[in-house]
Amino acid sequence: MTLIRKKHLPRRTFLRGMGVTMALPLLDAMVPALTAQTAKLIPRVGFVYLPHGAIMDQWTPKQDGADFEFTRILKPLEPYRNSINIVTGLHHKAADTTAVHSLSPTTWLSGVRPRPTQGVDAFAGVTADQIAALHISQDTMLPSLELATEDHSDLIGSCDRDYGCIYMNTLSWRTPTTPLPMEVNPRKVFERMFGQGGTPEERQQRNQEQQSMLDAITQEAGDLSRQLGPRDRATISDYLDNVREIERRIQRSSNEQDKADLKLPDAPAGIPYSYEDHVRMMYDLAALAWQANVTRVFTYMVAREVSNRTYPQIGVPDGHHATSHHQNKPEKIEKLVKIQSYHIGLFADFLKKLQSTPDGDGNLLDHSVLLFGSNMSNSNLHNHFPLPNLLAGGAAGRIKGGRHLRYPDHTPMANLLLTVLDRVGVPGDHLGDSTGEMAAL
C-alpha cells in the first residue's frame, strides 16, 4: 500500500486486502498532515428511535437546569450526566393525525406531514440525518447508515388509515420520494462497511472456514504499525480487536442458527436469536463505523411501530404495542416503564462504548451528538406532546451537557433538529415547521 509510506498519514488511509477495504481510526500520525482548517473535528451525529412513547411522569425530571435528578426511566444514564441534555416541551404537529403509527417514524426527523397515500406515490420531507449526510459525510465511505432491529419488509400497502406502510418502514428520506431502507442484518452492515469481495463461492467458503476479513490485511497492518508510535500502535490494535470481536459475534450468530432445532422462518445469516445481542451488535457496528470514519451519520430504529415484541428477559411477556395501550392500568404502566428503562440501559451501554473509544484529543462521545427519543408521548392517547427526547454527546465542544432544558409548551420538535444540525456544522435556517434554533443548547 503506497499511502502508509508517507511520513504523515492522510486521514483517509485504508488497509486493503482481497475484497477488503478497511478505513483506520484517527491516529496521531494523521494530525500533522492536516491543515489548520481540516484538523478541526467534524462531529458525528446519530438518531436512535424508540416507538410507543414514554410514561412521561417517569421520564421527565421534576427539576430544571443542572441540578435535576434522573427519573426512574432515565436512571441508567446517570453515569453520563455531563454528556446528557434532556429536552422538554417539544411537540411534532406534523404527526398530529389519526394515522399515528405510520406518521410517527417518517415525521420524527423532518417535521413535514407526508402525502396521504397507500400507493407508490409517497411524498414526505427530507430528514435531518440526510441533510447532515449531504453536508458532513460526503467524504466518507458511506454517507450514512440506516439500521434497525426488526424487519419491515413484510409491511406493505395500507398500514394506518390513509397512510401506507412505506411511511412506517424507515426514519430516513433522502429526497421527498426516496425513503432509505433500514438494514437489520449485522453481517450485511459489516460487509457494507468493510467489503467482502471474491465470488459468492469464495465468500461462502470463507464463512464456513470462519476466516476473518482481517486475515486479508494482516501484512498491511503489520507494515503500518512498524512505522507508527506506541500510542498509534495501541489505537490500531484496539480497533482491529473491535473489528475481530464483532466479526466473531456475527459468525457465532450464524452458527447458532445452523444448529438451532427450531421450526422458524428462515432468517438472514448474522441476525442473533437474542434481541439484546442484536441491539448491542448494531450499536457496536455504529460505534465502529464512527471510529473508522466509515460514516459520520447513522439512524437506528431499535423497534418498529406496532411492534409486539415481548421482553421476557425483564419480566414483560406481553407485546410492546399491546402494552402501550395501557388504559391507565398500573400493572401495564409498570410494564411499559420496564421496557423503556431497558432500552435506555442499552443506550447507556452504547454511550459507555463511545466514551471508552479514543478519538483525537478526546473520545467518540465527546465528538458526537446523539438524539434519542420517540415521536409519541402518551401511547394510550396516541398524542405527540410532550415528546420524550434527549441529547447525548458534546459535539466536539459545541454542546454543554448536564442539563434538563424545559422549553415553552408546544415548541416545535423541528427546532431541536435544526439546532442539532447547526451544532454539527450544517448550515440552515429552516426545517419542517421550525421557528428557529434553541439558543440554550
Domain ranges of the chain: 42-184+273-391+411-441, 186-270
For the segment 259-263, the average pLDDT, to the nearest whole number, is 39
Residue 358, pLDDT > 80, answer yes
- pTM value? 0.83
Residue scoring higher pLDDT (270 or 76): 76
Q: Look at residue 260 in the predicted model and tell me its pLDDT.
A: 41
Mean pLDDT of 237-252: 73
Q: Are 106 and 124 in contact (CB under 8 A)?
A: yes
Q: What is the pLDDT of residue 1?
A: 36
Q: Which residue has the higher pLDDT, 234 or 142?
A: 142
- The pLDDT, as a whole number, for residue 74 is 98
pLDDT attached to residue 298? 98
Average pLDDT, integer, range 410-434: 96
Q: Where does the pLDDT of residue 36 fall: very low under 50, low under 70, confident under 90, or very high at 90 and above?
A: very low
Q: Is residue 403's pLDDT more than 70?
A: yes
**Which residues touch 106 (CB under 8 Å, ≥6 apart)?**
114, 124, 125, 167, 168, 170, 171, 173, 179
Q: What is residue 289's DSSP assignment?
A: H
Percent of the chain clearing pLDDT 70 (strictly above)? 80
Residue 112 CA to residue 358 CA, distance in Å, equals: 37
Give the lowest-confidence range in 236-240, 332-336, 346-350, 387-391: 236-240
The confidence band for 263, taking pLDDT boundaries of 50, 70 and 90, is: very low
> Is there a contact between 232 and 29 (Cβ–Cβ < 8 Å)?
yes
1.10.10, 3.40.720, 3.40.1350, 3.10.110: CATH of 42-184+273-391+411-441? 3.40.720
Q: What is the per-residue DSSP string for 99-116?
A: -HHHHHHHHHTT--PPPP
